[in-house]
């Protein structure tokens, strides 16, 4: 999962905090395929968890929820192998706006 480091104010220790938006993506994925551990799964395509219909549906959900355009050039296996890969694509598309 995508995390960034944040200092804890009480002990000056580092704590991991989720980047904003990844939890929304995980919720979308879990609603599509309940029971899959999207936090740790790294081969959604190779393991046949997501098929082409799922990817097209997910692309539309991403466009709706994250306000980015998922073009046909972005619909490649590397961008959909894991929740991290999907989220990295979303961040990249958002930065390109």
Q: Is the predicted pLDDT of residue 1 greater than 60, yes or no?
A: no
Range of the domain at 82: 19-96
Tell me what pLDDT residue 97 has. Answer: 82
pLDDT in tens, 18-58: 456 899 999 999 999 999 999 999 999 999 999 999 999 99
- The count of domains in the chain is 1
What is the Cα–Cα distance from 86 to 91, expressed in whole angstroms?
9
**Does a structural domain hold residue 13?**
no
DSSP letter for 33, please. S
Residue 56 lies in a domain: yes
């Amino acid at each position: 999962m995508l995390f960034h480091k944040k200092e804890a104010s009480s002990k000056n220790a580092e704590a991991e905090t989720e980047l904003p938006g990844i939890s929304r993506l995980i919720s979308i994925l879990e609603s599509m395929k309940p029971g899959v551990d999207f936090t740790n799964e790294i081969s959604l395509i190779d393991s046949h968890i997501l098929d082409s219909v799922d990817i097209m549906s997910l692309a539309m959900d991403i466009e709706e929820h994250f306000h980015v355009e998922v073009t046909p050039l972005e619909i490649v296996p590397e961008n959909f192998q894991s929740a991290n890969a999907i989220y990295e694509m979303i961040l990249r598309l958002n930065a390109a706006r």
